[in-house]
Each structure stands twice: as C-alpha cells, then as structure tokens.
Amino acid sequence: MANLFFPQLTSGALAQYPINRTRIVRTVKNVLAGGDMVLYPDSKAGHLVWKLDYTELSNVDLAALQNHFAACSGPYRAFTFLDPTGNLLEWTSDLTHPVWRAPASLAVAGGVASPYGDSAAFTLTNNGQISQAIAQTLAIPAAYQYIFSVYVQSAQGASVTLSRSGQNASAIETFAAGPNWLRISTGGTLQDSTPSVTIGLAISAGQEVNVYAPQLEAQIAPSRARLTGRRGGVYPNAHWGVNSLPVIATAPGLFTTSFTIEAGI
C-alpha cells in the first residue's frame, strides 16, 4: 500500500538478527490413469515468509510496530515491506534494462569482467558535454536510513558521484575511481516525508567507468553484494502473518516480540 510501510527502527535497521526467510513454492501434480504424472509449477502460489525476532526494543520502536499493526488491522490490510536481507534495487544484473534511466549520451555496455572474475559488470561511457547519470526510482519512504553502494573501476581515472534523492531533498557524494575495483557507498537519511527514492550514479563528460553490483539497503552499512533481476527487495503487497502482536516486557522500557511477515513472489 502506498501509505503503509513497515517501520524502520531508531537504530536505522528494519530487523534484528537472526532473520529467517523461507521461500515457499507449489507444484501441481496430475496422476493419469496409467500412472504417469504431469507436473507444472503454480507460480502465483509462491510466497516468502520472514520470521522476525526483536529483543530490547525501546518504547518508541515498540510503539512504531504496534501502530503499524493496528493501521493494517493485523493481517487484513497490505503494506510495503523492505526485505532486510535483500537488495532493494531491480535489475542490477542488467543496467541496460528500462528500469534504469539514462540519457542517450550515456552509453551502457555489458559483458565486462567484474571484481569476482565473471562478466557481470558494465561500462558506462559519457559521450555528452556535461555530467550524466544512470538512475532508478523506487516507491519507498525517502526519510528511511539507506546505504547505496557500488563497485567502480576506471583505467584512466574518473570521478563518480552517487546520489540519493526524494521529492524534496537530496544528498550527493563524489568518489575517485581508479584502475583497481573499489566499493564506494553513501548513506544516511533525508528530511523528506515523500514515498519516493531515486538513486543515481553520475560520471563527468568524456569519462568511462566500469560498474558492478549497485545496491540499496535500508540499513547503515552495506552487506555483501547481491545481483537482482526482475525482483528487488521491495514487496508492496505484504501482510502480517499473525493475528495478534505478542509483547513481553523484559526490563523497564525494554520489550521483546516475535512475528512473521508474508509476501507473494
């Protein structure tokens, strides 16, 4: 739902470890009279289940979870869930996909050797007269804590600017790319209450930069690189998997809870 988002903790994280994520799929089986079987996947029945356990929650964090649970009427109303174990961006395995916006003067070519020895990296070449950027926009809260990271390399040397923008605020940071692969990142929060975040990677006119594994996460530091396809880590039709939110007070002002979140895949 556009106006319902799973809350982020005051720590800047969405969840606490350990996090258990289960992928459930279904195969339909028809047994014929002669004993032969016909099998086919039921793709619309697949879903993910996150089991989330929280300890030492403050009054503020507990209230955020309880208020969200009430706003959703428990499992009844859908909301947007940001996978705390995933890369929020789509198609980081293919920077030529239309989900990535780039001007015609910024050429994007694949099949480039990555820092892990495969050919999953891409070359960005700015043939224009000004700085140009490749960007992707997600329907997620601009005010959350995010970290945007990417591997960069440039044989000739180049400056790379990473940006995070909402509709009313933005943040940029510039890095130097050299002949060796380097993972760069920028993170923080924006003073912007809108449900839209655009991340961008810009290079100056005439420069050429190899890039690999752009990644956006709702936390304070980048985790290991995860390439994505058509599905990033944003689930706009998630539901609470419990009918009530159990809460245990473990100390004055500290609480524990445990529940599941479900979403289709």
In-domain check, residue 96: no
Which value, to the nearest 10 degrees, does the dihedral of the CA atoms of residues 146, 151, 156, 162 take?
Answer: -10
Same domain membership, residue 219 and residue 128: yes
Same domain membership, residue 179 and residue 71: no
Same domain membership, residue 198 and residue 241: no
Same domain membership, residue 260 and residue 204: no
In-domain check, residue 8: no
Paired strand residues for 264: 47
In-domain check, residue 94: no
Residue 181: alpha-carbon gap to chain centroid: 23
Same domain membership, residue 204 and residue 132: yes
Looking at residues 139-167, what average pLDDT do you find? 97
Same domain membership, residue 147 and residue 201: yes
Q: How confident is the model at residue 28 (pLDDT cuts 50, 70, 90)?
A: confident
Average pLDDT over all residues of the chain = 95
Domain total for the chain? 2
In-domain check, residue 92: no
Among 127, 100, 116, 128, CA closest to 153? 116
Give per-residue pLDDT as tens, 55-89: 999 999 999 999 999 999 999 999 999 999 999 99
In-domain check, residue 6: no
Give per-residue pLDDT as tens, 220-252: 999 999 999 999 999 999 999 999 999 999 999
Q: How confident is the model at residue 26 (pLDDT cuts 50, 70, 90)?
A: confident
In-domain check, residue 135: yes
Same domain membership, residue 180 and residue 119: yes
In-domain check, residue 90: no
Give the domain range for residue 160.
106-230
- pLDDT, residue 2, reads 53
Q: Which residue has the higher pLDDT, 205 or 265?
A: 205
Residue 129 maps to which CATH number?
2.60.120.260
Same domain membership, residue 206 and residue 146: yes
- pLDDT, residue 27, reads 81
Looking at residues 4-16, what average pLDDT do you find? 97
Same domain membership, residue 248 and residue 196: no
Pairwise CA distance, residues 248 & 206, whole Å: 59
Sign of the dihedral defined by the CA atoms of residues 199, 101, 184, 172, in that order:
negative
Same domain membership, residue 146 and residue 251: no
Give per-residue pLDDT as tens, 97-120: 999 999 999 999 999 999 999 999
Same domain membership, residue 140 and residue 243: no
Neighbour-count burial for 124-133, b at 16+ CB within 10 Å, e otherwise:
bbbebeeebb
Give per-residue pLDDT as tens, 194-228: 999 999 999 999 999 999 999 999 999 999 999 99
- pLDDT, residue 1, reads 46
> Is the pLDDT score of 35 beyond 80?
no
Same domain membership, residue 214 and residue 135: yes
**Which pTM does this prediction carry?**
0.92
Give per-residue pLDDT as tens, 125-136: 999 999 999 999
